[in-house]
Amino acid sequence: MTTAPPETVHAREREPEHGDPVGWSFLRSRRWIGYYAMLLVFAVACVLLADWQFDRRAEARAEIARIDANYGAPAVPLGDELPTLDSYDDGVQKWRTVEVTGEYLGDTFLARNRPGPEGVGVALIQPLLTESGDVFFVDRGWAPVGADGTTPDQIPVPAEGEVTVEARLRASEPEVPGRSTVGQTVGSIDLPELAQLADAEDSSYIAAYGMLVAEAPAGDHGVLPAPPERDEGPHLSYALQWYVFIVIAVSGVVYAARQEYRNLNAGSSEVDRQDRRREERRRRRGPTDADEEDAILDG
């Protein structure tokens, strides 16, 4: 009985030596499995970031829809829009115009650190005692700070006596940590805090305040804000860019695999056929500008 040489018995089990054609088997190696894992993690991260941009775009489009529906709508009585002192839905009622009649109370609160046309200033927050006996806070515009850097040199004085106010609804702002109340200045338009400062905790609107649009009779007020911008921003392009990054990463991995295949299978019939096809395509296409420039430089 003839025994086959050991090298013949184990021919399929040995590792290919340098220069031996190995096909695509290297794609099952531990190193390439690591590449796949990194590509998967990168792709998942890109998808999550793209979804985040899509969510931000949806929020911007919802804000534009609110502006279109509410900003130019006719004024309605405050009591109809806000039937209770704590009722307000920012997703539906933001920018709606309300009308209310009452009398401004004496204290003007200054919400500091507000950007304006002349730099940093304050928002003028005036409590309005309505005909129903409740207190509604009105933002009467922006004023620049004076030499002391905290309060205006002159605070606009509202009209005395009965006044009819039109204002656009905005949500109460949260308390800002680290910003304390000093005198008339407050860290934010936090309505529960303003109600406490105005000694009207049980009779104040604490969910929404109004940004002044017009009043009769008119009094002095600060700079009123410009209409909000109807711009959804670049979120859609940013989201699509994250998907482009995935395509680029996959293309890079495919290119790296092809290059490694060529290196490991150099001299094989398959690689030779690919080289001949590539050379034939190049011949039919003719020399490129880069080839002509290289020829000139070589000459």
Task: Report how far residue 250's alpha carbon sits from residue 40's, in angstroms, rounded to the nearest whole number.
Answer: 10
**Do residues 88 and 190 both lie within one domain?**
yes
Q: What is the pLDDT of residues 14-67, one digit of tens each?
A: 444 444 556 788 888 899 999 999 999 999 999 999 999 999 999 999 999 999
Q: Measured in Å, how far apart are the chain's first and last C-alpha atoms? A: 68
- Domain presence at residue 280: no
- Domain presence at residue 10: no
pLDDT of 195: 94
Tally the domains of the chain.
2
Indicate the residue among 71, 103, 130 that finishes a domain: 71
pLDDT band at 11 (very low <50, low <70, confident <90, very high): very low
- Domain presence at residue 40: yes
Q: Which two tokens stand for residue 116?
A: 């304006």
**Do residues 139 and 211 both lie within one domain?**
yes
- Domain presence at residue 266: no
Q: Is 264 helix (H, G, I), strand (E, B) or coil?
A: helix
For the ranges 33-37, 83-87, 139-143, 293-297, the lowest mean pLDDT is seen at 293-297
**Do residues 43 and 57 both lie within one domain?**
yes
**Do residues 95 and 198 both lie within one domain?**
yes
**Do residues 52 and 134 both lie within one domain?**
no
Q: What is the pLDDT of residues 181-214, one digit of tens each?
A: 788 889 999 999 999 999 999 999 999 999 999 9
Residues with Cβ within 8 Å of residue 248, at least 6 apart in sequence: none
